Structure 1
């Protein structure tokens, strides 16, 4: 191998060793026995890959893995779940596989065959192991998404409608809570019936609870600014900013779990959010002018 190829092989070797250390650490803090076994198996696989590159380089490639990095990944595991953490770590695997395929051109014989086996491991075996990780939040991700997305769009639309109808923040905030909490109950019931009649791994009651809690959380979060300020415009802007933050966080989470494009998903979701808000504002403004709703609500407030 040339000096350039040897340097590239050392980088691969170091990356595989880091992955081994990371998965070993994650397995050590995992509470579920089956998930711990899968993480340990992934660590062992990464170590076998490391040993291949170590032999090719002709020297040890062990590098120190920062305790801060491990602590951050441990925190991510506890907050976001093991499935998200593992898939987040594996997001660069497509690039790694392409790099390995290019490196094959410089190998021959038994060494080439072993690298082909490693590539096969990266493509199929790791995906198989990840798919076997059992985590409740992933099974009910669709119901959580349903609750969050529907609540964010609906409550933002309600607040936008009242922005065009009244200048009273208390009325807009209470209206959002009333509509939102009623809808949360309705959505939870619908999720229960949907899970009950579908042949899936999701149970009806947890599906209803996941949908209802997600909806309730979004409703309260988006209504909060209306009880803090007396400016309807300021409250609406703050509420929309919270909506964007909630959508961004969840879309990023689901894009990692489902291995989809974050950019495409976030553009679509924000387009629906702002389109709904604009339509609701126009509708509320028209009704407010026709029926004088703003004046009536101001007197009641």
Structure 2
């Protein structure tokens, strides 16, 4: 039989109950997707899902109701786990529950089991995020190397070429040649560096570096390829906005997945990339003026 509760606590428990069953389905869905290719993480997620289900049943004993899971939330975090990885998706989900301890404190007078469940939630969250072993996070250093080098080098190159050449087609041609060459150079350097350290994953490490570099090159050159040849100022503006967006997204990903300070990393990386772009822009103007080159 459902236990007597105040209206406020009853509503709170229903909300928590829905959260538990929703997270149960999120963990189960992600676990089923990676069952064959990643048995370690599958087992961790299955165990966590079962704990969420057990908590749901405890709340059910108080409310006597069976709220439906949030299907939109299930879809959203399952989608994020595919695009950005399971560690990012689950840490982002857990970060959205920072006020849970306050809620448990408010209901503990009427629901004595809330204290134990709160401790269970904290324990399984810590265990889950420490047990998860995801390949892409082991190669964050390689991705940072490729992304950061591409942003700094190519942002400066494109900014300098924009007003030196004043033609999107010429800037795109120069940018692609420079970017592809730099991608191969950076990837091979990472490979040789990893091999010299005796690492067996040298090829995989250089692959992550090369992919991060090439994706960045593509996104930065794209405005020059898509816009008319004479719209070089607009292409430069879009390219700079793209740089800021890439830095924002990547640093948000890293800050969530690895628990790092987002604001400091974002400002540092953006400051370096945009500073180099501004300096290269001035250099491009000076070279064009003093050499008397008119393309």
Report the TM-score range of the alignment, normalised by the length of the smaller protein. 0.7 to 0.9
Q: In structure 2, do the counterparts of structure 1 residues 146 and 46 end up closer, same or farther at CA, with 3 Å as the change threshold?
A: same
How far did residue 263 of structure 1 move?
4.4
Q: Could you say which residue in structure 2 is the equivalent of 1:187?
A: 186
Match of 1:247 in 2: 247
1:237 equivalent in structure 2: 237
Provide the residue aligned with 1:223 in structure 2.
Answer: 221
1:36-185 residue pairs with structure 2 within 5 A? 36-55=42-61, 57-60=62-65, 62-104=66-108, 106=109, 112=112, 114-185=113-184
More helix by percentage? 1
Which runs of structure 2 are paired with 1:14-33 in the superposition (5 Å)?
14-31=18-35, 32-33=38-39
CA positional deviation for 1:290: 1.8
Structure 1 residue 226: Cα displacement: 2.2
Q: Quote the offset at 1:136 in angstroms.
A: 1.6
Deviation at 1:208, TM superposition (A): 0.6
2:169 touches 2:224 (CA, 8 Å); kept in 1? yes
- Give the whole-Å Cα distance in 1 for the aligned partners of 2:166 and 2:283: 15
Kept after mapping to 2: 8 A contact 1:164/1:282? no
Q: Tell me, which stretches of 5 or more residues in structure 2 are unaligned?
A: none
- Return the alpha-carbon distance in structure 2 between the equivalents of residues 224 and 20 of structure 1: 42
Distance 1:119 1:196, change over 3 A: farther
Q: Could you tell me how far apart the structure 1 residues matched to 2:92 and 2:196 are?
A: 33
Alignment gaps of 5+ in structure 1: none
- Answer whether contact 1:157 1:276 (CA < 8 A) is retained: yes
> Could you tell me how far apart the structure 1 residues matched to 2:99 and 2:197 are?
38
Query: TM-score, with normalisation over the residues of structure 1?
Result: 0.83
Q: Does structure 2 retain, via aligned residues, the 8 Å contact 1:188–1:208? A: yes
Aligned match of 1:273: 273
User: Is 1:147–1:215's contact at 8 Å kept on the other side of the alignment?
Assistant: yes
Q: What's the C-alpha RMSD, in Å, of the aligned pairs?
A: 2.6
8 A Cα contact 1:155 1:176, kept in partner: yes
> Could you tell me how far apart the structure 2 residues matched to 1:53 and 1:22 are?
19
- Paired residue total: 287
